[in-house]
Amino acid sequence: MAREKETSNVLITGGTDGFGRAAAIRLAEQGYRVFAAGRSAERRAKLEAYAQQGSLPIETVEMDVCSESSVDRALAEVRAKAGPIDVLVNNAGIGIYAVVEEISLDDWRRQLETNFFAVVRLTQRVLPEMRARRRGRIIQMSSVAGRMCLPLMGAYCASKHALEGMSDALRLEVAGYGIHVVLIEPGYIPTNFQPVSRELSSDYAARAATSPYAHVYQAFKNARERSSRGNTYTAEDCARVVLRAVRDTPPRIRYRITKQAAYAEFARRIFSDRMVERRILSYMGLDKFRPASS
């Protein structure tokens, strides 16, 4: 593939931790001017100190992606300093895990607001200037969960499936304006995302033992523990793929990270929905709870 030479100003949401932080550093090392957005003043300060120590072109900006006014202030700050945004990396996200029957509507809204509507908000804000300049890249941090789902991940998967659908439509809409829309689909990679998700889901976990879905909660916990054992992928692996998505011309529509993500796509292409479902139930040890007639 050819390499993109023109892009320079990059805005990364959730850019001070996990995938976002790793991507900010990687892109800055390659000469991109990076604005890493985040809510935590402490994390912003740590990243700024790291950037100054290494003479990296990284600046941080305060942004709550769920707040219209916060997003507008942050974008105005970036534009005042650097001009138009060439690359938007929509990375900010959360995970709230509970069975569909028990997760509250407030948590459903919180999940979708952060992982989907916030992405739409940022995307709509940068599209006019990208269209006017007839260039730009919008990189969406999706997940293997945008293609395949596990129990307890209904809300999270719903947000990622929505992101995938919106991005596929958007790609077609902006095809004539020189704008590329790219989906990144990581599998399980340990970052601070997992402990934050456990905290966000802690009320449900605390009640899991008395839930009629207790066996499902336990199966999910066991599967997560298996995924974490022997996992050699890091946030830096994701950052390298983000760099490819920024530089490849043309970029792929989807970039998958980890064997888990590659297998999920392979399974979706080769096996029927019923076969995929049976494999998931078997992997999680939930097949023994399924009525023989189903």
Q: Exposed (0-12), middle (13-18) or buried (19+): which is 93, by Cβ within 10 Å?
A: buried
User: Residues 120-157: pLDDT tens digits?
Assistant: 999 999 999 999 999 999 999 999 999 899 999 999 99
Of the candidates 74, 83, 119, the one whose C-alpha atom is nearest the C-alpha of residue 9 is: 83
Q: Does residue 196 sit in helix, strand or coil?
A: helix
Give the pLDDT confidence of 88-116 residue by residue, as tens digits.
999 999 999 999 999 999 999 999 999 99
Give Cβ neighbours of residue 97 (< 8 Å, ≥ 6 apart).
152, 153, 155, 156, 197, 201, 204, 220
Give start and end residues of each alpha helix (H) in 103-229: 105-112, 118-133, 154-173, 193-200, 202-206, 214-228
pLDDT score of 243 more than 90: yes
**Domains present along the chain, CATH in parentheses:** 2-212+233-258 (3.40.50.720)
What was the pLDDT predicted at 94? 97
Catalytic residues: 156
pLDDT per residue over 10-30, tens digit each? Answer: 999 999 999 999 999 999 999
- pLDDT, residue 267, reads 86
Under 8 Å between Cβ of 143 and 197: no
Q: What is the pLDDT of residue 142?
A: 97
Residue 149, helix vs strand vs coil: coil
Tens of pLDDT, residue by residue over 176-220, are 999 999 999 999 999 999 999 999 999 999 999 999 999 999 999
